[in-house]
């Protein structure tokens, strides 16, 4: 378990107020009816893309060259709380996509300049180094902080109960200190730029600023992510990510 800083005890309530806290296959085409001078049949190679689909040059440039896992969160629209999550794994053949999962993001959609309380999720590429939750470590390779500080109470924007939302979380390294508990309160950009942005269990409604997916998919993600593959999350509305 990660040793928390003294300020950690203050965060459980604050989160609810200010934030969520291969190989290639060679497939020969059918040869045409031939004469001795017919050209040799063409070979079609089916390979994975060398770049994650949907990401434009500006976004792709932010993905570290050593990254081998990318959690891509694609928002339906700039002002929409609905999105999808796909885990991409880089192999010798290229980037391989996992299953697409439905997700929620912030109530008011996305922003390039997140501020505390704006009810928008930050657009960008952020590393993933730390996890935690109210439930015991399911076997992730990420450092995992288990404790009651992840208790969620109250109701969401659509009246849905928030209980269980933080059973599993992965800290998104937006305005936080990597290598600490998701509950750590350090804000390198200042408190006004928000923080506590997590991947966490979906409560069937929009979030304060986090990204949420179903409990079983959160557990799958925790088991899949590997610090040695330098995972990142690439998140934003589709138009922003395509830049």
Please, what's the b/e burial string for 122-144 (b: 16 or more CB within 10 A of its CB; e: otherwise)?
bbbbbbbbbbbbbeebeebebbb
1 domain residue, yes or no? no
185 domain residue, yes or no? yes
Three-state DSSP at 15 gives helix
Give tens-digit pLDDT for 212-233: 999 999 999 999 999 999 999 9
119 domain residue, yes or no? yes
Give tens-digit pLDDT for 18-54: 456 533 333 333 333 334 444 444 433 455 688 999 9
2 domain residue, yes or no? no
166 neighbors 151 (Cβ within 8 angstroms) = yes
3 domain residue, yes or no? no
140 domain residue, yes or no? yes
Domain residues for the domain of 135 are 9-241
Question: In the block, which residue shows the tokens 């996305």?
Answer: 110
84 domain residue, yes or no? yes
Q: Across the chain, what does the average pLDDT equal? A: 87
What is the percentage of the chain residues whose pLDDT exceeds 70? 80
100 neighbors 86 (Cβ within 8 angstroms) = yes
Conformation bin of residue 140: beta by default, left when phi > 0, alpha when psi is -120 to 50: beta
**Cα dihedral 214→167→118→188 (10° resolution):** -120
Phi and psi at 96, nearest 5°, equal: -105, 130
pTM for this model (two decimals): 0.83
* Number of domains composing the chain: 1
18 neighbors 116 (Cβ within 8 angstroms) = yes
Phi and psi at 210, nearest 5°, equal: -80, 180
4 domain residue, yes or no? no
For residues 186 and 24, the model is more confident at 186
Give tens-digit pLDDT for 195-218: 999 999 999 999 999 999 999 999
Q: So what's the pLDDT on residue 50? A: 86
């Amino acid at each position: 378990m990660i040793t928390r800083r003294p300020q950690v005890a203050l965060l459980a309530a604050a989160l609810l107020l200010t934030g969520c806290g291969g190989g290639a296959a060679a497939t020969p085409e059918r040869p045409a009816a031939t004469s001795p001078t017919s050209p040799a049949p063409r070979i079609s190679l089916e390979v994975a893309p060398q770049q994650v689909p949907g990401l434009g040059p500006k976004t792709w440039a932010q993905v570290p060259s050593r990254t081998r896992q990318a959690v891509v969160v694609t928002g339906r629209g700039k002002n929409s709380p609905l999105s999808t999550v796909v885990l991409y794994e880089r192999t010798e053949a290229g980037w391989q996509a996992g299953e697409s999962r439905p997700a929620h993001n912030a109530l008011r959609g996305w922003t390039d300049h997140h501020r505390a309380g704006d009810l928008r999720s930050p657009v960008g590429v952020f590393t993933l180094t730390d996890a935690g939750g109210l439930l015991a470590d399911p076997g992730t390779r990420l450092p995992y902080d288990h404790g009651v500080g992840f208790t969620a109470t109250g109701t969401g924007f659509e009246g849905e109960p928030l209980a269980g939302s933080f059973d599993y979380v992965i800290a998104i390294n937006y305005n936080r200190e990597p290598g600490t508990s998701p509950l750590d309160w350090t804000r390198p950009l200042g408190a006004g730029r928000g923080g506590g942005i997590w991947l966490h269990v979906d409560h069937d409604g929009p979030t304060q600023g986090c990204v949420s997916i179903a409990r079983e998919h959160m557990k799958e993600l925790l088991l899949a992510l590997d610090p040695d593959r330098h995972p990142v999350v690439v998140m934003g509305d589709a138009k922003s990510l395509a830049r």
